[in-house]
């Protein structure tokens, strides 16, 4: 490689051999207009990353055998961002002029940007840019200082910046055989972002979410939701100097269905229903296992988009010309976005980096900020639905912010249709308060319930000493139950021992019509209630644990066999609608006359469990109640794999066997 380039040069002069004095003011105005189109705090990340991705793809397209790689370093102490790629690197002629407005060496088409304004924004939108490049024919390390100050200077005091050779080094750049490094330091007036700490992300894990949702690293391929062939390493230095690293990460958008548990594809549900219909089976029973999900999603190609909106002739041409595709996700509640942001992405509360709205995308990367979905009815659904509409080869406006009006109108029509289609199947989803749905619903509270509630308030039972209820890892009940009384003893042992954590008992009675009163509860720390297949198989999904809660008092029944309660229903000794929870040792057979059973001991159905410890749900045509089958609970704890097989064979979907 050679270093034939001069020690310093003016990028604008290099790009134009005309009278520089006459054109200087015009160039500054042109650059200033470019800078005005960049208003997002994520723009510097997007520009550097899209250039890096294009560079490695250009090298790969040239037929070279290498492993494409991008290295990203975010230094919160230095307030800097560095992006390194092992792509093609610059030729000398390219390097002398590429920072000037409207100069681009991209081929258009599948490249992510081709207007030649992005690097001008990077050079003159900030005050400290270091560029390094190397390949077999050319190498240079240089710094451009005070670019933004010169653009904003109206008095002619700040000289036009020049690219000066630098002796500084970069460990990231030294690690690649060839390619380019861009490093920005964020300092000065009108710099956006002025401080990287604004994001309140201090670790590589946190920044990973931001970059995969808001920048081109979040590669979008709506045909199979796959990642790009390019991997990247992310290094973050916190404001306290702590270094965290996420290595060999796939460049792939954070699609909600991949991030939120219990998300169902609409097409799969339709397929199951059609299969049941063709077999002469009940279509509602066929999709019972999908109920109580957190969200619905669907992917749309050109053909399905045309079916969805019945486009006019011009819209058909646009759909075909840009090979349009779309993705839609409908969450049961906007609380889902908060849970994802706070617990999974671990970002500052209220940021909602992934949320409802319309995201435009072009050539595999998101473009600009979310757009409000223009609903005229059920407006709240626009905040529950995350939609991506993707184009191949569309030409965004200056600064990657928008598209032609006819495209924007078409996209909005598509987004409204997607919301309507997904929201029409809200019957599959939890109610809007999620795991705590029905917590505030009215229940029959007769005098017994009211009196016991007052007794609980006036005469609480507390055991303050920390020396008791220590884990012995043994149960004090030494044999399997033989009577209802044995069931009561075993159940109370499991509650006291922390095996069942979502139930608090208020009373039992041998006088009243029913056996007892209880509450469902979720108490801090909520992490103790989170499902894990080995450590906490009776738990609930983390997404459902919005906040601590306790329900109003509810009625429970104890039985040795569920058969006894079913017969009491039939003889009208007890009323099905009054009972919320039944605890028993054995299922028996009588339930099969009227009830369908959903097993929460089948781990595929965990998303339907609302409270810790519930093992099953029984549903008839007019009522539903929760159940704890102690025999099958114990079997699960002792032999999870065998219990799974049993649950699926007895309570699974046998419609198509």
Do 382 and 519 lie in one domain? The reply is no
The domain that contains 70 carries what CATH number?
3.30.565.10
Do 403 and 490 lie in one domain? The reply is no
Number of domains within the chain = 3
Q: Is residue 94 part of a domain?
A: yes
The answer to whether the CB of 152 falls within 8 A of the CB of 59 is no
**Which DSSP symbol is given to 161?**
P
Q: Is residue 6 part of a domain?
A: no
Q: Is residue 343 part of a domain?
A: yes
Q: Token match 């520089």: residue?
A: 20
The answer to whether the CB of 558 falls within 8 A of the CB of 487 is yes
Q: Is the four-CA dihedral 407, 413, 417, 419 of positive or negative sign?
A: positive
Out of 217, 250, 283, a domain closes at 250
Which one, of 485, 421, 397, 504, lies nearest residue 36 by Cα?
A: 397
Do 353 and 445 lie in one domain? The reply is no
Q: What is the pLDDT of residue 395?
A: 72
Out of 428, 449, 471, a domain closes at 428
Tokens of 427: 């019957």
Q: What is the pLDDT of residue 606?
A: 92
Do 405 and 509 lie in one domain? The reply is no
Q: How far apart are CA 193 and CA 187, in angstroms?
A: 9
Q: Token match 């470019």: residue?
A: 34
Q: How far apart are CA 413 and CA 507, in angstroms?
A: 57
Q: How far apart are CA 30 and CA 37, in angstroms?
A: 11
pLDDT at 228 over 50: yes
Which one, of 376, 381, 281, 275, lies nearest residue 333 by Cα?
A: 381
Do 357 and 414 lie in one domain? The reply is yes
Q: How far apart are CA 394 and CA 109, in angstroms?
A: 8
Do 477 and 419 lie in one domain? The reply is no
Which one, of 204, 206, 248, 201, lies nearest residue 227 by Cα?
A: 248
Q: What is the pLDDT of residue 628?
A: 97
Could you report the per-residue pLDDT of 125-137, keeping only the tens digit for each?
Answer: 999 999 999 999 9
Give the number of other CB atoms < 10 A from CB of residue 343: 15
Q: How far apart are CA 4 and CA 139, in angstroms?
A: 9
Q: Is residue 532 part of a domain?
A: yes
Domain that holds residue 341: 256-428
Tokens of 568: 């009491």
Do 468 and 605 lie in one domain? The reply is yes
Higher local confidence (pLDDT), 189 or 82: 82
Query: Where is 252: in which H helix or E strand?
Result: none
**Which DSSP symbol is given to 385?**
E
The answer to whether the CB of 463 falls within 8 A of the CB of 571 is no
Do 339 and 440 lie in one domain? The reply is no
Do 245 and 162 lie in one domain? The reply is yes
Q: Is the four-CA dihedral 427, 431, 434, 438 of positive or negative sign?
A: negative
In which order are the strands placed within the sheet that holds 80-85? 8-9, 163-165, 139-145, 128-134, 179-185, 80-85, 69-75, 231-237, 243-250
Q: Is residue 290 part of a domain?
A: yes
Do 401 and 452 lie in one domain? The reply is no
Could you report the per-residue pLDDT of 379-397, keeping only the tens digit for each?
Answer: 889 999 999 999 998 877 6
Give the list of residues 6+ apart from residue 294 with CB closer than 8 angstroms, or none.
Answer: 260, 261, 262, 263, 331, 332, 336, 429, 430, 434, 541, 543, 544, 607
Q: Which residues are 72's β-sheet partners?
A: 83, 234
Q: Is residue 491 part of a domain?
A: yes
Out of 408, 428, 448, a domain closes at 428
**Which DSSP symbol is given to 332?**
S
Could you report the per-residue pLDDT of 587-634, keeping only the tens digit for each?
Answer: 999 898 888 899 999 999 999 999 999 999 998 877 899 999 999 999
Q: Cα-atom radius of gyration of the chain, to the nearest Å?
A: 31
Return the top range by mean pLDDT from 224-233, 401-410, 495-504, 646-655: 495-504
Return the top range by mean pLDDT from 104-113, 195-204, 324-333, 543-552: 324-333
Q: How far apart are CA 316 and CA 422, in angstroms?
A: 23
% the chain with pLDDT above 90: 55
Entry field: residues in the chain: 657
Q: How far apart are CA 160 and CA 20, in angstroms?
A: 11
Q: How far apart are CA 269 and CA 289, in angstroms?
A: 10
Give the list of residues 6+ apart from residue 5 with CB closer than 8 angstroms, or none.
Answer: 92, 95, 96, 138, 140
What's the pTM? 0.75
Q: Is residue 13 part of a domain?
A: no
pLDDT interval class at 430 (50, 70, 90): confident
Alpha helices in 42-99 (DSSP H): 43-61, 92-97
Average pLDDT, the chain: 85
- For 303-328, give one letter per residue: b (16+ CB within 10 A) or e: eebbebbebeeebeebbeebebbbbb
Q: What is the pLDDT of residue 267?
A: 95
Give the number of other CB atoms < 10 A from CB of residue 395: 13
pLDDT interval class at 488 (50, 70, 90): very high
The β-bridge relationship of strands 624-629 and 80-85 is unpaired
Give the number of other CB atoms < 10 A from CB of residue 630: 21
Do 198 and 57 lie in one domain? The reply is yes
Q: How far apart are CA 69 and CA 483, in angstroms?
A: 66
Q: Is residue 310 part of a domain?
A: yes
Do 384 and 456 lie in one domain? The reply is no
Which one, of 372, 359, 64, lies nearest residue 222 by Cα?
A: 359
Could you report the per-residue pLDDT of 23-64, keeping only the tens digit for each?
Answer: 567 788 888 888 888 888 999 999 999 999 999 999 998 888
Q: How far apart are CA 108 and CA 136, in angstroms?
A: 25
Lowest model confidence (mean pLDDT) among 59-68, 77-86, 395-404, 406-415? 395-404
Q: How far is CA 496 from CA 98, 141, 468, in A?
A: 71, 68, 11
Span 258-278, average pLDDT: 92
Give the number of other CB atoms < 10 A from CB of residue 493: 14
Tell me whether the omega of the peptide bond preceding residue 193 falls within 30 degrees of 0, making it cis.
yes
Give the number of other CB atoms < 10 A from CB of residue 458: 7
pLDDT interval class at 657 (50, 70, 90): very low
């Amino acid at each position: 490689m050679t270093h034939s380039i001069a020690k310093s040069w003016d990028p604008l002069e290099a790009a134009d051999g005309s009278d520089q004095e006459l054109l200087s003011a015009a160039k500054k105005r042109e650059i200033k207009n470019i800078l005005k189109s960049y208003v997002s705090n994520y723009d510097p990340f997007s520009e550097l990353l899209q250039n890096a991705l294009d560079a490695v793809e250009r090298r790969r397209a040239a037929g070279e055998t290498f492993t494409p790689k991008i290295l990203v370093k975010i230094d919160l102490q230095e307030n800097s961002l560095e992006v390194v790629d092992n792509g093609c690197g610059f030729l000398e002629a390219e390097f002398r002029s590429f920072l000037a407005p409207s100069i681009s060496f991209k081929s258009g088409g599948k490249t992510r940007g081709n207007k030649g304004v992005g690097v001008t924004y990077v050079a003159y939108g900030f005050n400290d840019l270091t560029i390094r490049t190397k390949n077999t024919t050319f190498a240079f390390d240089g710094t451009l200082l005070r670019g933004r100050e010169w653009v904003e200077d109206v008095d002619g005091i700040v000289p036009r910046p020049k690219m000066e050779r630098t002796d500084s080094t970069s460990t990231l750049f030294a690690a690649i055989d060839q390619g380019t490094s861009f490093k920005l330091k964020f300092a000065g007036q009108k710099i956006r972002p002025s401080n990287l700490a604004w994001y309140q992300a201090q670790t590589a894990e946190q920044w990973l979410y931001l970059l995969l949702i808001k920048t081109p690293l979040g590669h979008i391929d709506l045909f199979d939701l796959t990642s790009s062939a390019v991997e990247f390493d992310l290094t973050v230095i916190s404001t306290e100097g702590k270094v965290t690293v996420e290595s060999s990460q796939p460049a792939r958008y954070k699609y909600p269905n991949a991030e939120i548990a219990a998300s169902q594809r609409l097409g799969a549900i339709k397929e199951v229903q059609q299969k049941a219909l063709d077999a002469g089976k009940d279509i509602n029973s066929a999709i019972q296992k999908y109920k109580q999900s957190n969200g619905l999603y669907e992917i749309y190609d050109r053909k399905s988009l045309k079916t969805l909106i019945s486009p006019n002739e011009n819209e058909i041409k646009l759909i075909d010309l840009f090979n349009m595709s779309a993705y839609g996700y409908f969450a049961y509640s906007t609380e889902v976005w908060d849970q994802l942001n706070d617990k999974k992405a671990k970002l500052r509360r209220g940021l909602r980096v992934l949320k409802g709205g319309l995201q435009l995308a072009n050539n595999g990367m998101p473009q600009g900020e979310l757009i409000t979905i223009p609903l005229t009815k059920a407006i709240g659904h626009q905040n529950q639905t995350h939609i991506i509409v993707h184009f191949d080869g569309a030409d965004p406006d200056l600064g990657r912010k928008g598209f032609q009006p006819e495209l924007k109108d078409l996209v909005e029509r598509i987004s409204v249709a997607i919301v309507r289609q997904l929201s029409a199947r809200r019957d599959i989803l939890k109610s809007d308060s999620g795991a705590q749905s029905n917590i505030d619903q009215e229940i029959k509270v007769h005098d017994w319930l009211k009196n016991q509630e007052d007794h609980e308030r006036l005469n609480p039972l507390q055991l303050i000493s920390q020396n008791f209820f220590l884990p012995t890892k043994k149960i004090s009940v030494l044999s399997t139950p033989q009577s209802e009384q044995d069931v009561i003893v075993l159940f109370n042992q499991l509650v006291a021992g922390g095996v069942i954590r979502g139930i608090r008992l208020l009373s039992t009675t041998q006088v009243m019509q029913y056996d007892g009163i209880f509450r469902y509860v979720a108490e801090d720390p909520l992490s103790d209630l989170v499902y894990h297949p080995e450590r906490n198989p009776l738990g609930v999904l983390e997404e459902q644990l919005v906040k601590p809660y306790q329900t109003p008092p509810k009625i429970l029944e104890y039985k040795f066999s569920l058969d006894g309660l079913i017969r009491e229903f039939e003889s009208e000794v007890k009323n099905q609608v009054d009972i919320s929870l039944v605890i028993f040792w054995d299922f028996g057979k009588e339930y099969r006359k009227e009830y369908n059973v959903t097993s929460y001991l089948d781990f595929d159905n965990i998303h339907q469990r609302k409270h810790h410890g519930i093992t099953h749900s029984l549903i008839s045509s007019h009522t539903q109640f929760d159940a704890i089958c102690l025999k099958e609970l114990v079997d699960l704890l002792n032999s999870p794999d065998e219990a799974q097989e049993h649950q699926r064979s007895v309570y699974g979907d046998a419609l198509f066997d």
